[in-house]
Amino acid sequence: MARVNFKDTRKETRTLAGKPVPVVVTARFARRGRLAVFADGLKSLLSGMRLTFGYLARPSAIVTRQYPENRATLKLPERFRARLRLKFDEHGYQLCTACRLCERACPNASIRILTRPGTLSKNELDRYIWRLDSCVFCNACVQSCPFDALEMTGEFEHAVFDRRLLIFTLNRYAGPPAGVLLKEPDEAKRAAAMEPRDVYGGPVPLNGADLPSVKALAVRPQADPARQGAAPAPGVPA
């Protein structure tokens, strides 16, 4: 019999503002002699110790994730929101039509869309600029997109040594979306409508620009593994 019996809760009904509320009154201390209190105290310390040492004896019951070591097997849920990505179809054509709905939905202006007059369509995407440094990962851009052209990926390791590397151009090429490109039968004309875009660079402050007293931005080719493979290779600044 311990000093406090946690199962010793009292159920009753109280009235608050005329309404009955079922309550459970939590356990309090029983009045006990000094010697009993001392014995209980000692017992409580020992039973706590037994619990912790129990885990020491059964290491399998402990969940420890060896994070940097388990990178190869680490699997994040598919809905995990970490890095924004533009979707591309099987030809490597983007689905983004530069309608700017995501730009408007973004609560803190982390998305900036630059457009230009195009050859195949009146208006086409020039640069889709996403600022990871101010993004709050609220998913509003993905939700607002009527073309399902955006997705959040689980790529969560964002640390870099230069904050200019946190401002991305998400599109691989400046040009019309897949819907417009596929209407054009001539492959040469399609290719001509697409101008490669680099990951870093553009007119947004810090986006590829130099900082006073900071070395010029140097990006190793293939800095972004998501960009390898499909269609127009990005021109990467030296």
Q: Work out whether 107 is an interface residue with another protein (CB under 8 A).
A: yes
Which of positions 150-179 make contact with another protein (CB under 8 A)?
Answer: 152
What is the C-alpha separation between 184 and 168, in angstroms, rounded? 29
Classify the C-alpha dihedral 74-77-80-83 as positive or negative: positive
| Spatial strand order in the sheet of 111-117 | 111-117, 123-131, 167-169
Stretch that binds another protein, among 67-75, 78-86, 189-197, 225-233 (CB under 8 A): 78-86
> What is the closest distance, in whole angstroms, from the C-beta atom of residue 128 to another protein in the complex?
19
Q: Work out whether 3 is an interface residue with another protein (CB under 8 A).
A: yes
Q: Work out whether 238 is an interface residue with another protein (CB under 8 A).
A: no
Say which residues have a Cβ less than 8 Å from residue 77's Cβ, sequence separation at least 6: 154
* Residue burial 206-228, b: 16+ Cβ < 10 Å; e: rest: bbbeeeeeeeebebeeeebeebe
Site string for another protein, 111-150 (x = CB under 8 A): -------------------------xxxxx--xx-x----
The answer to whether residues 175 and 92 touch, using CB atoms and an 8 Å cutoff, is no
Q: Work out whether 30 is an interface residue with another protein (CB under 8 A).
A: no
By three-state DSSP, how is residue 130 classified?
Answer: strand
Q: Work out whether 74 is an interface residue with another protein (CB under 8 A).
A: no
Q: Work out whether 72 is an interface residue with another protein (CB under 8 A).
A: no
Q: Work out whether 6 is an interface residue with another protein (CB under 8 A).
A: yes
Report the relative pairing of strands 111-117 and 123-131 from DSSP bridges: antiparallel
Pick from 21, 192, 211, 214 the residue near another protein by CB under 8 A. 21
What is the C-alpha separation between 72 and 78, in angstroms, rounded? 16
Work out the burial of residue 173: count CB atoms within 10 Å of its CB; fewer than 13 is exposed, 13-18 middle, 19 or more buried.
Answer: buried
Q: Work out whether 32 is an interface residue with another protein (CB under 8 A).
A: no
Q: Work out whether 87 is an interface residue with another protein (CB under 8 A).
A: no
Pick from 1, 33, 52, 73 the residue near another protein by CB under 8 A. 52
What is the C-alpha separation between 145 and 105, in angstroms, rounded? 9
> What is the closest distance, in whole angstroms, from the C-beta atom of residue 199 to another protein in the complex?
24
Residue 130 or residue 200: which is nearer to another protein going by CB?
130
Stretch that binds another protein, among 8-16, 90-98, 169-177, 221-229 (CB under 8 A): 8-16
- Binding residues for another protein, per CB under 8 A? 2-4, 6, 9, 11, 14, 16-17, 19, 21-29, 40-42, 44-45, 47-48, 51-52, 63, 76-77, 79-81, 101, 105, 107, 136-140, 143-144, 146, 152
